[in-house]
Structure 1
C-alpha cells in the first residue's frame, strides 16, 4: 500500500490501544468504549470514498481519548481518479457536563497521505486538450471541534460536530519540469474544486470540519 501504510498506521494505533488499557484498569460506571464509523466518508465524490472507523474511550465523566483510521476505496466515481492512501486522526475530547449524552469540545490532529490521478483540461490555441497525471499529497491538520452525542437507543449513538483549524498540504505532481512549465503557461477551464486538487507545492489553508459519526457503545 502507498506511503508505507502499515508502519505509519501501526504506531498511533498501538498508542491508542495502550492508553485504553492503562486508563481502563480501574473500572467505574463512567468508563466506556465506543466504536465509531463515519458514514458520509463512503459517499465523498470530492476527496474519494473512504472507509473510516475508530474508537472513543471515556475514562471519567469529562475526558475521553479518540482515534480514527481510514483507507481509500475505488468504487465511487470521484474528482480524484483512483485515490489510494490512508489517514489517522487521534484526539482528545472534553465533555461540558457530567451527563453521558452531552456537548463537547475536542482537539484533533490528522495526518493523511494520498495518491491519485487528475485529468487536467487545458486550453491551447482555443482548443481543449486533456492530460492525465498522478499526484501525491501529505496533509497535516489541527482542528478544534464542537459537537454533541445523541442517544439513538440500544447502545447506538449519533455524534455530530463542526470544527475549525489549520491544515498544511505538501503536494507533488508526476510531471517533468517541461510539462509543469507548459501546464502553468496555458489556460484551463477547471472548476475551483479541480484547481484545488491540481495545486502543487506547500500550502496552508483553514481546515473546516462538519460531519457525523455513528457509534456503538461496548460498556
Structure 2
C-alpha cells in the first residue's frame, strides 16, 4: 500500500541541544534590537506563530513576515556548526529514514514548524537530508496552524507523485500539537515520546500509537 510519511524534526529526528532556542533568540535580537527577556515558546508551534508570540510576549509590534523569515534564516545559518557540534541524531532515526527512502511505495518528507531553510540546517549536519524529499514537505512559513501543513504537504506530494493520491498519510512527531494536526487533517499519527512529552500525555492527546523511540518503528511502517 502506498504511504506518505511526514516527519517532525526537533525531538523526533534530532536532539538540537538547545540550539533551536538560540536561533530564535538571535533572530529576535536582529529584529528587535535587543535580546529576548525569556526564551521562545516552541512546543510544536510553527515559526510564524513562534515569532508572533515572542513579540506579543514582549509587548512589541510583530514584524512583517518577510523580515522575520530572513532573520530566522540568517540565524539558522550562523548556528549550523554549533548544532553539528552539540546536537545528535535520536535512536533509530537513521535506519528508519533509510528504510522509508528505499521503499518505492513510500514518499518520505517533513512536516515541521521550522522554515524550510532551517529544516535543512537541522538535517544537513547529520546527513539526514539525503533520505527525505524536502521539496514536497510543509514548513513553518506555510501557516500559523500545524494542521494546515498536513494538507499543504499532501498537495505538494500529489503534484510530484501522481500515484500518491491513493496513499495513506502518517505524521510522526513528539508533541500533542503533532497529534492534533494529524487527527484534524484526517491523517494517521505515530507519536514518539522522545521529547519533553510523556507517552501518557501523547495518548491523552489522541495518539493510539506511541513509541519510546524510532527504533520501535523499523520494519513496521506499512503495518501501522
Same fold (TM over 0.5): no
Task: Determine which structure has more spread, i.e. the larger CA radius of gyration.
Answer: 1
For the aligned pair, the TM-score class normalised by the smaller chain equals: under 0.3
Q: TM-score, normalised by structure 1?
A: 0.25
Higher relative contact order (CA 8 A, sep 6+): 2
Q: TM-score, normalised by structure 2?
A: 0.25
Judging by fraction of residues, say which structure has more helix.
2
